[in-house]
Amino acid sequence: MEIVIEKAPGGFMIDGLQLLGGKCGCTSLLSCCFSWSKIKRRDNTFLYSAKADTPQTKDNFLWGYIVSKDGYTVEVEFNDARDKTIFSGFYPPRLEEWTARGWHVAAKIGSREDGTIWRCSACKWLYKENQQDVPFEELPPDWRCPVCKATKDVFEKIG
């Protein structure tokens, strides 16, 4: 089966998986997070990089992987932070999502540690499900962002 590559807003859809770029928009509510994600294409190689570690984060680490299939390669490098509270980029697909589609793992550095992450589109604050007692989708409809008080419907799933 042929791999389908499509342009997507902010990046690419590769074999049904999204790789998206995003950058800090510096809101008036929070200081700049200096965070971003980028995706570049060089022929049949896709280079995704992201930076979530900031001047304020202290518990930083690196993770990533390289996967390949049918002449295509995806390289992921993520400078992450366990103590981040905001992030302006988008997470790449989990390694397991690639392997489930038949991609071969050529290399792996560290591991992604966050579970499912939702981001407030108003202030970039992160709701990390692995650190909460309630999955985001099960929060009551009147729940609001603890930072900017935006309603639940402005949150987007980023990872």
pLDDT tens profile 121-142: 888 889 999 999 899 999 999 9
> Residue 146 is part of which domain span?
5-157
Model confidence at 159: pLDDT above 90? no
Residue type at position 111: S
Model confidence at 2: pLDDT above 80? yes
What count of other Cβ atoms lies within 10 Å of the Cβ of residue 89?
A: 27
Provide the pLDDT for residue 54. Answer: 84
Sorted by sequence, the CB contacts under 8 Å of residue 43 that are 6+ apart come out as: none
User: Which CA distances in Å does 55 have to 60, 83, 123?
Assistant: 10, 12, 18
Model confidence at 23: pLDDT above 60? yes
Model confidence at 28: pLDDT above 70? no
Average pLDDT value for residue range 145-149: 94
Provide the pLDDT for residue 115. Answer: 87
Average pLDDT value for residue range 19-23: 88
Residue type at position 78: F
- Burial profile 128-152: b = 16 or more Cβ within 10 angstroms, e = fewer: bbeeeeeebeeeeeeeebebbebeb
DSSP result, 32-86: ----EEEEEEETTEEEEEEE---TT--SEEEEEEEEEETTEEEEEEEEEETT-SB
In percent, the amount of the chain with pLDDT more than 70 equals 93
Which band of pLDDT confidence, cut at 50, 70 and 90, is reported for residue 91? Answer: very high
Model confidence at 25: pLDDT above 80? no
Mean pLDDT of all residues belonging to the chain: 91
- Residue 154 phi, psi (nearest 5): -90, -5
* Tokens 């049918």 -> residue: 70
Total number of domains constituting the chain: 1
